[in-house]
Structure formats: C-alpha cells, structure tokens
Amino acid sequence: MRILSGIQPSGKLHIGNYLGMIKSMVEYQEKDELFCFIANMHGLTTLFDGSQMRENINEALIGLLALGIDTEKSILWVQSDIAEVAELTWYLGTVTPMGLLQRCHSYKDKVARNIPASSGLFTYPVLMAADILLYSSNIIPVGQDQKQHVEVTRDIAIKFNAVYGDILTIPEAEIQEEIAVIPGTDGQKMSKSYNNTIEIFAPEKELRRKIMSIVTDSASVEEPKDPDANNVFLLYKLFASLEDTDAMAEKFRRGGYGYGEAKKELFNLLMDYFGPYRKKREEIVADPSYVEEVRKKGAEKARNIASELIGKVRKAIGMI
Ligand code: ADP
Ligand code: TRP
C-alpha cells in the first residue's frame, strides 16, 4: 500500500497536525510505503513572503524529522522540487469540471476569511489531485477538512481514466474519526489561521501560557463539572492513558477540582509526551547540512517515481 500526505509550510506544527495526520503517518511507515511532503506550492496561496516561506519549509522538514518521519523507511520531499507536479496539474485541470471546484468548501471558507481569491486558490484541489495521482497513492490520511479534496481527486482521476485509459490510481481518504477535529484553545478547530494552536515545539514558557489560556466556562472550583463539556479534558484525553483519563473525569464529576489544576496536568502531560521529540528537534537544528541532505535525497527518490507516471500520462494524452 502506498500512503501519501502533505502538510503546508504555513506556520509552526501544532497538536492538531500531529494527531490529525503526522502520528498516523509515522505508524504507517513501519509497514507501508510512506510518501510525505511539504506542500509549499499550496502554501503560496496564503503566504506571500519569500524569506518566511523558506524558513517555514525548513521548520516543517525539521519538525517532521523530529516527530519520527524516517527517511530510511519513507520518502520525504518538498513539493516544488518535483516540477512534474505543476505539469500534471495542468493536464488534470483540462478534464476537471468547473462545478466540481465551485462546490469546494475550502475555497469559500478561505475567501470568507479574506484570503485573496486568486485562481491558484480556486484550483488548489487540482494541484492536490496532482500530488496524490503523480505518486499513484492508495491511501491519504488527512483531517476531516481535507476529505472533500480527496473526493475531488477521485472524481478527476475517474474522469481522466475514462478519457485516456486506466493510468491513474484511484485513492481513498482515511480520516481519524475519533480525532477528526482537534479543538484549539478557544474551542474552535485548532488551526494556524485561527491563532488558537498549541505548538508542539514552542518554548516551555510559551507552551504553558498557551495551555493556561484555554477557554473554559466560569464554574467555580467546588462545582461538579461535566468532563466532556470542557476543552481541557478533551485535549488531555487525546494524550493520556485510559486510567489517567478516567481519573481526571472522576475529579471533574466529583467537584472541588478546578480548570487551573487540570490545565497544569495537561501541560505536564504534553511536556512528557513531546519531550523526546523536542530534544530530537534540538539535535536536528544543530546540523543544517543534514536537513539539506534530506531534502536533496528525498527529491531524488520522489522524482524517480514521478517521472514514470508523468511519462505514461504524456504518452496517453499525445504530448509525445
Ligand atoms: P492549519 O489548519 O493549522 O493550517 P493544515 O491545514 O496545514 O493546518 O493541516 C495539515 C494537516 O493537519 C491536515 O491533514 C489537516 O487535516 C490536519 N489538521 C490540521 N488541524 C487539525 C485539527 N484541528 N484537527 C485534526 N486535524 C487537523
Ligand atoms: N491541502 C492539504 C492541507 O492543507 C495539504 C496537501 C496538499 C495534501 N497536497 C496534499 C494533503 C495531498 C494530502 C495529500 O492540509
């Protein structure tokens, strides 16, 4: 099985990215072929600052390596290093009905949030389809918000195959149902664009501040509370053992247990959980030539696979 997913270099990695996507990717690489890339061309639809872009790409590479993406077992690359993806985007665009793209929520949501309504933003799902189809991927682990884009990819691939023959592999999205949407510090979906993220590699002080800022209701310490109705517990549950989760739920139900105390427990848990990854990141940061080498080798491996598929496509559509 070939598993593929990408992440935009639009900011610092947060625990929504980790649980929604990175964690399952790391598990996949043990038994499947894992393809993991930094979607910097997608990133261009919202980030218009070259030096910031460069820094974010590097930060994303370092973060993925620190969190366990192993380049011996999987392929890790930067999207734009394989120019064939832009070429395939054009070919796919010519068989993509406008209506398919007009139905995409993500475009409408982004425009509503004042992101410039460029044609790049509109055709974003076609580039995503090219990412997936160029590497003949079978399974796409993503958060709920990306599900529609994988469905669009399937529709485009089916259409292309109907016109030109059975060339593209039809992929399937894989959504982690139980953690489909990780809440941010304000209770909305955790997202860089909402400024409500808990960053995995934030300095300790900053991480503590973020966790202490999680919004809760104003129930007093004494009052019994419904654990499932508060964000601190919801986040704790995602990382804690069953035993510790039950213990915290019980304390909330009994009363005499305040949100402040629960936040401290959440902070300690996250420091423990991500401690080894934070240490690994420091080691990687200290060796920039290693990251450069990873990027170069990843591009070579990805290019080998991409050139085979693009060759078949060019032939089928009569470009060569
Ligand atoms: P952001 O919304 O912060 O910009 P991205 O869109 O770059 O995050 O998402 C990268 C990956 O992480 C995608 O697979 C996405 O579905 C997943 N992801 C992001 N935020 C969450 C969340 N709050 N809950 C679950 N998965 C998420
Ligand atoms: N659009 C995805 C996001 O914002 C990132 C992405 C780009 C992607 N290409 C992909 C994810 C291909 C999975 C497969 O999160």
Position 13 pLDDT exceeds 70: yes
Q: Say what angle helices 259-285 and 204-212 make with each other, to 10 degrees.
A: 150
Evaluate: CB of 128 within 6 angstroms of ligand 2.
yes
Lowest-confidence region among 28-32, 143-147, 175-179, 263-267:
175-179
Counting Cα atoms < 13 Å in the Cβ hemisphere of 152 gives: 29
What's the pLDDT at 140?
Answer: 95
pLDDT (tens digit per residue) in 192-238? 878 899 999 999 999 999 999 999 999 999 999 999 999 999 999 99
Strands (E) across 151-288 are located at: 172-175
Under the banding of pLDDT at 50, 70 and 90, the label for residue 10 is: confident
Under the banding of pLDDT at 50, 70 and 90, the label for residue 130 is: very high
Q: Write the DSSP string, 148-191.
A: HHHHHHHHHHHHHHHHH-S-SPPPEEEE-GGGSS-B-TTSSBP-
Proximal ligand: closest to the CA of 124: 2
Nearest alpha carbon, ligand 1 atom 11: 17
What's the pLDDT at 178?
Answer: 64
What's the pLDDT at 21?
Answer: 86
Burial of 17 (0-12, 13-18, 19+ CB in 10 A): buried
* Number of residues written out for the chain: 320
For a mutational test of ligand 1's pocket, the pick from 46, 145, 175, i.e. the residue with the most ligand atoms closer than 8 A to its C-beta, is 145
What's the pLDDT at 175?
Answer: 86
Average pLDDT over residues 293-303: 98
Å from CA of 251 to ligand 2 middle: 40
Evaluate: CB of 240 within 6 angstroms of ligand 2.
no
pTM of the model: 0.93
Q: Write the DSSP string, 84-142.
A: HHHHHHHHHHTT--HHHHHT-HHHHHHHHTT----HHHHTHHHHHHHHHHHTT-SEEEE
pLDDT (tens digit per residue) in 253-286? 999 999 999 999 999 999 999 999 999 999 999 9
Number of neighbours of residue 233 by Cβ within 10 angstroms: 24
What's the pLDDT at 180?
Answer: 64
Under the banding of pLDDT at 50, 70 and 90, the label for residue 97 is: very high
What's the pLDDT at 20?
Answer: 80
Nearest alpha carbon, ligand 2 atom 4: 8
Under the banding of pLDDT at 50, 70 and 90, the label for residue 143 is: confident
From CA 152, how far away is CA 135, in angstroms rounded? Answer: 17
Instruction: Give the CATH number of domain 192-282.
Output: 1.10.240.10
Å from CA of 279 to ligand 2 middle: 27
Q: Judging by DSSP bridges, how do beta strands 74-78 and 139-142 pair with one another? A: unpaired
Contact 156, 21 (CB under 8 A): no
From CA 303, how far away is CA 35, in angstroms rounded? Answer: 12
From CA 87, how far away is CA 303, in angstroms rounded? Answer: 13
Burial of 155 (0-12, 13-18, 19+ CB in 10 A): middle
Q: Which tokens hold the place of 80?
A: 């734009």
Residue ranges of domains in the chain: 192-282
Counting Cα atoms < 13 Å in the Cβ hemisphere of 288 gives: 4
Contact 68, 26 (CB under 8 A): yes
Position 121 pLDDT exceeds 80: yes
Nearest one of 160, 177, 176 to 168, comparing CA atoms: 160
pLDDT (tens digit per residue) in 186-199? 999 898 878 899 99
Burial of 37 (0-12, 13-18, 19+ CB in 10 A): buried
Q: Say what angle helices 124-134 and 105-112 make with each other, to 10 degrees.
A: 140
Average pLDDT over residues 106-124: 95
Number of neighbours of residue 147 by Cβ within 10 angstroms: 16
Position 179 pLDDT exceeds 70: no
38 DSSP 8-state letter: E
Position 177 pLDDT exceeds 80: no
pLDDT exceeding 70 applies to what percent of the chain?
99
For a mutational test of ligand 2's pocket, the pick from 4, 7, 37, i.e. the residue with the most ligand atoms closer than 8 A to its C-beta, is 7
Residues carrying an active site annotation: 110, 189, 192
pLDDT exceeding 90 applies to what percent of the chain?
91
Contact 144, 180 (CB under 8 A): yes
Average pLDDT over residues 58-75: 97
Evaluate: CB of 17 within 6 angstroms of ligand 1.
yes
CA dihedral 306, 26, 125, 315 (to 10 degrees): 20
What's the pLDDT at 255?
Answer: 95
**Quick one: which atom of ligand 1 is closest to the CA of 189?**
23
